[in-house]
């Protein structure tokens, strides 16, 4: 649509403050009074997008309910809630990283001035991490993302909070049972979590995407627990985990969660630093022994 606008020579959309607030109110009303949005942008995110998107996002009313505020605006045809508008704005915010990836490469070639998306992603990151605008720390490193527990349903457990020590440790790779939006955890982890997680259970995750189905992978790091007698064990064997389940006083570490690189690439998510693992150790040994050592060379030199 913006490409057509550019070719036809139309000026960009220029909303006033009342129209911007209408979008904010309409999305809130739709989410609270009609149905939950897959992603509810913050008022700051909505306001930024509305003010910078060169075309007006509009549509026919889909609900009998009227917006709770900012009615009878001269350039808005209806006071009723427009479901399409709410869904489009929600998805623009949710898919912003994926949208910006191609636009950053060829957008200017088509005369599309969407460079504001880079600034929007900074605002979104700041809002998700619950940091203040003057907090310079949000510009460096990986910030916690609270989105996945924002709309938590009563009765569902939170396995770990964002970037919390002792939660799942990220492990890159793919097993025979994992793949796109299908993560893997150790079978002993399923046991120590009282079998709440089974194969096929869908979890809302902090990153890289909004959710993932879970499968069992026994070649990644297992959980570490503290028993009633004070001993600390690394439960590599699910059978042992079942025997000791009643004696577990504390879960010190949930173990690894296996995600493929493709999940991060598809969502244009920056690669998060992973924990130290066997593959990393092998590369260090190969580097120490010389290039091309490989597993066979390693076995020969180490006996």
Residue 289 lies in a domain: no
Residue 12 and residue 109 share a domain: yes
Residue 127 and residue 56 share a domain: yes
Distance, CA of 183 to CA of 200 (rounded, Å): 10
What is the number of domains present in the chain?
2
Residue 227 and residue 123 share a domain: no
Residue 252 lies in a domain: yes
How much is the pLDDT for 138?
45
Half-sphere exposure of 255 (CA within 13 A, CB side): 29
Distance, CA of 147 to CA of 192 (rounded, Å): 26
Residue 126 and residue 14 share a domain: yes
Residue 236 and residue 109 share a domain: no
Distance, CA of 44 to CA of 244 (rounded, Å): 49
Residue 171 and residue 67 share a domain: no
Last residue within a domain, chosen from 114, 139, 164: 139
Residue 182 and residue 85 share a domain: no
Mean pLDDT on 8-17: 92
| Domain boundaries, position 39 | 2-139
Residue 256 and residue 231 share a domain: yes
Residue 236 and residue 108 share a domain: no
Mean pLDDT on 6-14: 91
pLDDT tens figures, 77-101: 999 999 999 999 999 998 888 888 8
Residue 178 and residue 50 share a domain: no
What's the pTM? 0.62
The mean of the pLDDT values for the chain is: 86
> Who's near 66: CB < 8 A, 6+ residues apart?
79, 80, 81
Residue 301 lies in a domain: no
pLDDT tens figures, 197-255: 889 888 888 888 778 889 999 999 999 999 999 999 999 999 999 999 899 999 999 99
Residue 176 and residue 102 share a domain: no
Residue 298 lies in a domain: no
Residue 198 lies in a domain: yes
Residue 288 lies in a domain: no
pLDDT tens figures, 245-290: 899 999 999 999 999 888 888 877 888 888 888 888 888 888 888 7
Distance, CA of 171 to CA of 220 (rounded, Å): 8
**Straight-line distance from the first to the last Cα atom of the chain, in angstroms, rounded to the nearest whole number:** 66
Residue 114 lies in a domain: yes
232-234, strands of its sheet edge to edge: 232-234, 224-227, 248-253
List Cα–Cα distances, 268 to 104, 106, 143, 229, 271, in angstroms: 12, 16, 16, 46, 9
Residue 13 and residue 55 share a domain: yes
Residue 97 lies in a domain: yes
């Amino acid at each position: 649509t913006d490409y057509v606008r550019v070719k036809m020579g139309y000026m960009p959309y220029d909303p006033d403050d009342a129209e911007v607030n209408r979008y904010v109110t309409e999305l809130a009303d739709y989410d609270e009074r009609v149905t939950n949005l897959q992603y509810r942008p913050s008022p700051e995110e909505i306001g930024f997008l509305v003010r910078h998107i060169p075309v007006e996002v509009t549509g026919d009313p889909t609900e009998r309910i009227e917006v709770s505020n900012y009615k009878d605006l001269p350039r808005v045809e209806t006071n009723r809630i427009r479901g399409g508008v709410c869904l489009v704005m929600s998805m623009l915010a949710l898919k912003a990283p994926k949208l910006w990836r191609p636009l950053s490469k060829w957008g200017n070639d088509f005369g599309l001035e969407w460079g504001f998306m880079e600034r929007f992603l900074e605002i979104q990151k700041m809002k998700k991490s619950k940091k203040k605008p003057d907090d310079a720390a949000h510009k460096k490193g990986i910030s916690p993302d609270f989105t996945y527990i924002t709309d938590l349903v009563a009765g569902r457990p939170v396995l770990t909070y964002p970037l919390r020590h002792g939660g799942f440790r990220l492990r890159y790779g793919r097993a025979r049972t994992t793949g796109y939006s299908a993560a893997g955890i150790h079978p002993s982890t399923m046991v120590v979590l009282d079998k709440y997680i089974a194969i096929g259970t869908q979890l809302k995750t902090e990153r890289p995407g909004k959710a993932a189905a879970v499968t069992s992978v026994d070649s990644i790091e297992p959980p570490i627990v503290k028993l009633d007698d004070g001993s600390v064990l690394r439960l590599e064997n699910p059978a042992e985990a079942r025997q000791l389940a009643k004696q577990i006083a504390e879960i010190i570490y949930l173990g690894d969660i296996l995600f493929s690189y493709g999940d991060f690439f598809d969502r244009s998510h920056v690669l998060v630093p992973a924990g130290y693992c066997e593959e990393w150790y092998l590369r260090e040994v190969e580097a120490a022994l010389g290039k091309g050592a490989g597993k066979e060379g390693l076995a020969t030199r180490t006996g």
